[in-house]
Amino acid sequence: MNEDARDTQATELRHAEFRKSSYSGQDAQCVEVAIAADGGRWLRDSKNRHQPPYYFTVDEWNAFIRGVKDGEFD
């Protein structure tokens, strides 16, 4: 990744609106998701917010959602 791409990514992350599920409790043992500018998703651990988030492309995220709905992870 070139320096311009890293700068763009850092700016995007500073403005990302991370959300956690309404099913999550008040303790910090959740994951939080933010929508990336390109439609992908950023995912982070709520108890380790200082760690860099993981990034998933639109296709990767959609495959994950399909798997959840199909019971693939039950």
- Residue 7: which domain range? 3-69
Q: Which residues contact 22 (CB under 8 A, 6 or more apart)?
A: none
Is the pLDDT assigned to residue 47 strictly greater than 60?
Answer: yes
pTM of the model: 0.76
Classify residue 48: in a domain, yes or no. yes
Q: Is the pLDDT of residue 4 over 60?
A: no
The answer to whether residue 55 is domain-embedded is yes
Please state the domain count of the chain: 1
> Does residue 40 fall inside a structural domain?
yes
Distance CA(19)–CA(55), nearest Å, equals 15
Listed in sequence order, the DSSP H helices in 1-74 are: 3-15, 58-69
| Predicted pLDDT at 8 | 66
